[in-house]
Structure 1
Amino acid sequence: MRLDIFSHSLVLYGTLPYGPLGFWDVWLRVSILRPLKGLDTNLYENLESTFKQEYSNYEIIFSVADENDQALLVAQALMNRYPGVQATIIIGEEIVGVNPKVNNLIRSFKAATHDLLWVLDSGVMVDPGTLARSIDIFTNTRLNKPIGLVHHVPFALIDESKVGSRLEAAFLNTNHAKMYIAINTGGIESCVVGKSNLYRRSDVDRLNGSLIPIRSQMENPHEPIRYGLPAIGRFLAEDNMIASALWHELGLRHDLSCDVARNVVGNMSFWDYVWRRVRWIRVRKHMVLAATLLEPFTESLMLAVVGNFSCRTLFSTPSWAFFPLHFLLWLYVDLDVYTSIAGLSIRQESFHSFLLAWIGRETLAFPIWILAIFGDEVVWRGQRYQILHNGEARLNT
Structure 2
Amino acid sequence: MVEAATVYAVVAACVSRKRPAQTATPSHLAPVSVLKPLCGAEPHLYENLAGLCRQDYPDYQLVFGVCAYDDPAITVVNLLRTAFPERDIVLIVDARTHGRNPKVSNLINLYRAARHAHLVIADSDIAVPPDYLRRLAGPLSDPHVGVVTCLYRGRPVDGIWSRLGAAFINEWFAPSVRVAHAGGSRRFAFGATIALRRDTLNAIGGFRALANRLADDYWLGELTRQSGWKTVLSDVVVETDVTETSLRALWRHELRWLRTIRSLNASGFFFTFLTCTWPMLVLGCLLAPHLPVLAIALVGALARSVIAGSIGAALRAPLRDALLLVEWAAALGGGRVHWRGHVMTTTDAPPTHSTAQPGNRPALPKPLYSTTPHAQDSPR
TM-score (norm 2): 0.80
Q: Per-residue displacement from partner, 1:181-232 (whole Å, max 9, x unpaired)?
A: 222343324122211111122212222xxxxxxxxxxxxxxxxxxx321120
Secondary structure class of the residue paired with 2:116: coil
What one-letter code is carried by the residue in structure 2 that aligns with 1:374? G
1:351-362 to 2 correspondences below 5 Å: 351-352=311-312, 354-362=313-321
Q: Establish whether residue 247 from structure 1 lines up as the match of residue 225 from structure 2.
A: yes
Q: Is the 8 A contact 2:140 2:197 kept in 1?
A: no
Q: What is the aligned partner in structure 1 of residue 330 from structure 2?
A: 371
Aligned to 2:206: 228
Match of 1:94, SS?
coil
1:166 equivalent to 2:167? Answer no
Distance 1:320 1:185, change over 3 A: closer
* TM-score, length basis structure 1: 0.77
Q: State the secondary structure of the residue aligned to 1:56.
A: coil
The code of the aligned residue for 2:170 comes to: N
Distance in 1 between the 2:318 and 2:283 partners? 19
The aligned counterpart of 1:120 is: 122
User: Residue 153 of structure 1 corresponds to which residue in structure 2?
Assistant: 151
Q: Equivalents in 1 of 2:237, 2:305: separation in Å?
A: 22
Once superposed, what is the RMSD of the aligned Cα atoms?
2.6
The residue that corresponds to 1:217 in the other structure is none
Deviation at 1:113?
Answer: 0.4
Structure 1 contact 123–263 (Cα < 8 Å) conserved: yes
Matches within 5 A, 1:187-198: 187-198=184-195
8 Å CA contact 2:276–2:324 kept in 1: the answer is yes
Q: 5+ unaligned residues in a row in structure 2: which ranges?
A: 1-22, 353-380
What is the one-letter code of the residue matched to 1:387? T
Separation in 1, partners of 2:350, 2:296: 40
Residues 269, 46 of structure 1: CA spacing in aligned structure 2 closer, same or farther, 3 A cutoff? Answer: same
**Cα separation, 2, equivalents of 1:286 and 1:392:** 18
Contact 1:287 1:389 in 2 (8 A): no
Distance 1:365 1:391, change over 3 A: farther
Partner of 1:202: 199
Q: Percent of counterpart pairs with the same letter?
A: 26
Question: CA separation in 2, counterparts of 1:362 and 1:173?
Answer: 12
Structure 2 CA distance for aligned equivalents of residues 8 and 286 of structure 1? 36
Match of 1:264 among 241, 244, 255: 241
Distance 1:106 1:96, change over 3 A: same
For residues 185 and 251 of structure 1, the distance between their equivalents in structure 2, rounded to whole angstroms, comes to 21
Shift of 1:375: 1.0
Moved over 6 A (4+): 390-393
Bigger Cα displacement from structure 2, 319-328 vs 290-299: 319-328
Matches of 1:171 and 1:8 in 2, distance apart?
A: 31
Q: In the alignment, what sits opposite 2:255?
A: 278
Amino acid across the alignment from 1:181: R
Post-superposition CA distance 1:237-261 (Å, at most 9, x none): 111110111112x121221222212
Number of residues of Structure 1 aligned to a counterpart in Structure 2 = 330
State the AA in 2 paired with 1:155.
Answer: R
In structure 1, stretches of 5+ residues that fail to align are: 1-6, 17-26, 208-226, 339-345
Q: Which residue of structure 2 aligns with residue 343 of structure 1? A: none
1:324 aligned partner, one-letter code: L
Alignment match, 2:38: 36
